[in-house]
Amino acid sequence: MKFGTKAIHAGVEPDSATGAIMTPIYQTSTYVQEEVGKHKGYAYSRTQNPTRHALEKSIAALENAEFGACFGSGLAAIDCLMKMLNPGDEVISTSDLYGGTFRLFKTIFEKYGIVFHFVEMKNAAAVAELVNDKTKIIWVETPTNPMMSIIDIEEMANVAKQSNALLCVDNTFATPYLQQPLDLGADVVMHSATKYLGGHSDVVMGALVTNNEEVAKEMYRIQNSSGAITGPMDAFLVLRGIKTLHLRMDRHCDNGEKVARFLDAHPKVNKVYWPGFESHPNHDVAKKQMRGFGGMISFSLVGNQLEDALQTVSKVKLFALAESLGGVESLIGHPVTMTHGAIPKEEREKIGVVDSLIRLSVGVEDAHDLIDDLKQALD
């Protein structure tokens, strides 16, 4: 089954009671049992809910996975993975990653004895040097947030096998339409479904998928025991969003390229970070493991002045100054003061998150209007 067909049909069946083509919103906390221990597969909605179940099957199918689980947010999904570890276990993470993930690692799980190593992952050898018998997870974002760094998933899978570590990939920016990490050797894929999977800025949700049965058992145990689940209404919204994922991503990619090339030619722009440029580090890897380069772009300004960046993001009219990404509308953000404020300044600047860096989530509007908006703000 091709991806566009999967997006519309995978994991979803007409409702057995009414024939409704859309999965109903099962807004219920509990289910009547025929007798003690005999029910129709559902007993309590923290453990399982038909709407959430359909979404979990859908996301798993898009990633060519057997098992899927949905959570109250992307961070709740990562939290589930970290709870599979024990004190003394080690995690190797990319140093260029979402600020919320960094905060979760450093301020929540580090105090429970989990050891985190942050390393630039464009070179697999640097990761291999840190691997030891205590390494349990290698955490990858690709493209990374916000520097759009590209990490070779196949190379990282080979490194992970050295210590039987799990390779976990945050696939939020690429989506399963552009990149399928499990097919490249990853063990677990995480999505902030808040972003492109939902696609309409109206839901907060996370997801994990895997083909590893042992990981899946732990995933479902922790999901049920910790209770950080998503509700049926949110599950319904993401099911609806997924049906147009392939159509939206084509437009995000097309608009992203046009905006990136405009910015690259603008005299007030110092550097543009977009994987589609041949000069972008690991561009060849992006071509190999991605079907397109996406709609996420970061750029810095000439002079690297904080004031210039703040002025630019305040002068746009179509781009909305807001956190998050991946919706149909275009968003603009300032990582230093917004998404990556939790990362210490010296650590931010090591990975290129400088004061003038601006991040764009390019939406599906007319690209000419978006370019005109950026032009008037920059000029």
The CATH number of residue 301's host domain is: 3.90.1150.10
Residue 350's pLDDT is 82
Residue 14's pLDDT is 93
Coil vs helix vs strand at 192? strand
Residue 340's pLDDT is 84
Coil vs helix vs strand at 36? coil
Structure tokens at 78: 């990562």
Structure tokens at 195: 């972003």
Say if residues 296 and 148 touch (Cβ distance below 8 Å).
yes
Say if residues 205 and 51 touch (Cβ distance below 8 Å).
no
Residue 46's pLDDT is 97
The answer on 351 and 232 residing in a single domain is: no
The last residue of a domain, from among 242, 269, 288: 242
The answer on 196 and 78 residing in a single domain is: yes
CA distance 276 to 261: 10
Coil vs helix vs strand at 355? coil
pTM score, two decimals?
Answer: 0.96
The answer on 270 and 158 residing in a single domain is: no
The answer on 204 and 193 residing in a single domain is: yes
CA distance 159 to 37: 45
Say if residues 362 and 195 touch (Cβ distance below 8 Å).
no
Catalytic residue among 98, 177, 196, 273: 98
The answer on 186 and 67 residing in a single domain is: yes
Among 197, 199, 219, 252, which Cα is nearest to 10's? 197
Catalytic residue among 46, 83, 243, 261: 46
The answer on 325 and 180 residing in a single domain is: no
Among 200, 199, 140, which Cα is nearest to 175's? 199
Series of mean pLDDT values for 10-residue runs along the chain (379 residues): 95 90 96 87 94 98 98 98 98 94 97 97 92 97 96 98 95 98 98 98 98 98 98 98 98 98 98 98 98 98 94 97 97 92 81 93 98 97
Helix 245-264 / helix 367-378 crossing angle, nearest 10 deg:
40
CA distance 365 to 357: 23
Non-local (6+) Cβ contacts of 173 within 8 A are: 141, 142, 143, 144, 145, 148, 195, 196, 294, 296, 325
DSSP code, position 338? T
Report the first-to-last Cα separation within the chain, whole angstroms.
48
User: How many structural domains does the chain have?
Assistant: 2
Residue 357's pLDDT is 97
The answer on 217 and 102 residing in a single domain is: yes
Catalytic-residue membership of 46 = yes
| Range(s) of the domain holding residue 342 | 245-378
CA distance 359 to 321: 10
Say if residues 249 and 196 touch (Cβ distance below 8 Å).
yes
Residue 123's pLDDT is 86
The answer on 131 and 267 residing in a single domain is: no
Say if residues 29 and 45 touch (Cβ distance below 8 Å).
yes
Non-local (6+) Cβ contacts of 177 within 8 A are: 3, 7, 62, 245, 246, 249, 291, 292
Catalytic-residue membership of 284 = no
Catalytic-residue membership of 170 = yes
The answer on 276 and 182 residing in a single domain is: no
Distance of CA 187 to the CA centre of its chain: 16
- Residue 168: give its domain's CATH number: 3.40.640.10
The answer on 154 and 95 residing in a single domain is: yes
The last residue of a domain, from among 242, 276, 301: 242
Structure tokens at 259: 């905006």
Q: Which backbone phi and psi does 206 adopt, to 5 degrees?
A: -130, 165
CA quadruple 116, 348, 260, 101: dihedral, nearest 10: 40
**For the chain, the helix, strand and coil percentages under 3-state DSSP, each to the nearest 5:** 40, 15, 45
The answer on 194 and 117 residing in a single domain is: yes
The answer on 263 and 211 residing in a single domain is: no
The last residue of a domain, from among 242, 264, 288: 242
Helices in the chain by DSSP H: which ranges?
Answer: 3-9, 50-62, 74-82, 99-103, 124-128, 153-161, 175-178, 213-226, 232-242, 245-264, 283-289, 306-315, 345-350, 367-378
Among 33, 322, 284, 1, which Cα is nearest to 150's? 284
